[in-house]
Amino acid sequence: MLKISSLIMTISVLSFSAIANPESQKYLGFNYPHKAQNAVSITFDDARHSQVDVGTAILNRHQVKATFYVSPFNVKQRLTQWQDAVKSGHEIANHTSSHVCTGNFEWLRAQDLSLEHTTLKWLENDILSAQQYLKDHLGVTPRAFAYPCGNTFVGRGIDTKSYVPLIAKHFDSGRTWLDESANNPNFTDFAQLTGLRIDGMSFDEIITMLDQLRENNAWLILAGHEVGNGDQYTTDAKVLEQLLVYLKDPANGYWLDTVSNVSDYVRQQRKPLN
Ligand SMILES: [Zn+2]
């Protein structure tokens, strides 16, 4: 009896894996510059003031280029500093004009904004108006996008539509938020790159997360909001500094660059998996 049930289990496991991945390929490996095992990108969202008040000075001191996913309403309030960030070589990327995401956030619904009540056309205009602002005021044309709140839809229920294709049409990459996985360089969809939280975490917690997710040459994209010391939306300035020192040490095996620089490299070098 036992034997029969274990046989049935074996058959069902085998048939499930065959259906789930009919042409699964074994891991092919991936070579990064400088013989690094992994790529890592440091990113910040929203153009929070502390990013240019505190963050860029730390990054510049360590000669690290980060990717900033910005919304014009915040850039306007620190325009000169954001122009300086461009001069320092940081990547400026798009994060919409309105920062619209799910209307479960009451502060968005108070402004009559929610993805549940938005159309793809409205959202496209909102994204392109941010693109125009950044071109006019910072002299850059963003190639990367981050989904506000990590949400990738418009509408609700049976009428829900993905806006991932819209991002794939206008940008080289799109990044989500609060993901549980890093990017497999041979497989990841550039329009839905994963983003890992670093806000509110200690240096040891971040290193533990990197160690857990770095297998198979993963590309890890770290995402923060404020820089300084504060709440769960703040990347601690001292932790950021320690992290930069750690990631830049060749002994630790990381290649540190902006999202678009890594994405260009991965696109060129990957051996696409099914
Ligand atoms: Zn945001």
Q: At what angle do helices 237-248 and 203-213 cross, to 10 degrees?
A: 40
How many whole angstroms from 215 Cα to the centroid of ligand 1?
28
Query: Which is more confidently placed, 94 or 6?
Result: 94
Residue 85 CA to residue 162 CA, distance in Å, equals: 32
How many whole angstroms from 28 Cα to the centroid of ligand 1?
35
How many whole angstroms from 255 Cα to the centroid of ligand 1?
25
Q: How confident is the model over 142-153, as pLDDT tens digits? A: 999 999 999 999
DSSP conformational letter for 179: -
What would the mean pLDDT of 93-116 be, rounded to a whole number? 96
| pLDDT score of 61 more than 50 | yes
Q: Decide: helix, strand or coil at residue 250.
A: helix
How many whole angstroms from 48 Cα to the centroid of ligand 1?
9
Query: Which is more confidently placed, 36 or 11?
Result: 36
DSSP conformational letter for 124: H
| pLDDT score of 31 more than 90 | yes
pLDDT the model gives residue 199 = 96
Residue 231 CB: number of other CB atoms within 10 A? 9
The CATH number of domain 34-269, selected from 3.40.50.300, 3.40.1530.20, 3.20.20.370, 3.40.140.10:
3.20.20.370
CA distances in angstroms from 117 to 57, 84, 100, 136, listed in the order given: 40, 37, 10, 30
Six-digit token pair at 135? 């071109």
- List the chain domain ranges: 34-269
- Closest alpha carbon to 137 in 84, 90, 59: 84
| 237, 44 Cβ separation under 8 angstroms | no
pLDDT the model gives residue 17 = 46
How many whole angstroms from 20 Cα to the centroid of ligand 1?
34
Six-digit token pair at 206? 């971040």
Categorize the per-residue pLDDT at 22 as very low, low, confident or very high, splitting at 50, 70 and 90. Answer: low
Average of per-residue pLDDT values in the chain? 92
How many whole angstroms from 92 Cα to the centroid of ligand 1?
14
Percent of the chain with pLDDT over 90: 86
Q: Which residues pair with 154 in a beta bridge?
A: 161
| pLDDT score of 124 more than 50 | yes
What would the mean pLDDT of 119-138 be, rounded to a whole number? 98
Q: How confident is the model over 204-246, as pLDDT tens digits? A: 999 999 999 999 999 999 999 999 987 899 999 999 999 999 9
Categorize the per-residue pLDDT at 21 as very low, low, confident or very high, splitting at 50, 70 and 90. Answer: low
User: What region does 113 belong to: left with phi over 0, alpha with psi -120 to 50, or beta?
Assistant: beta
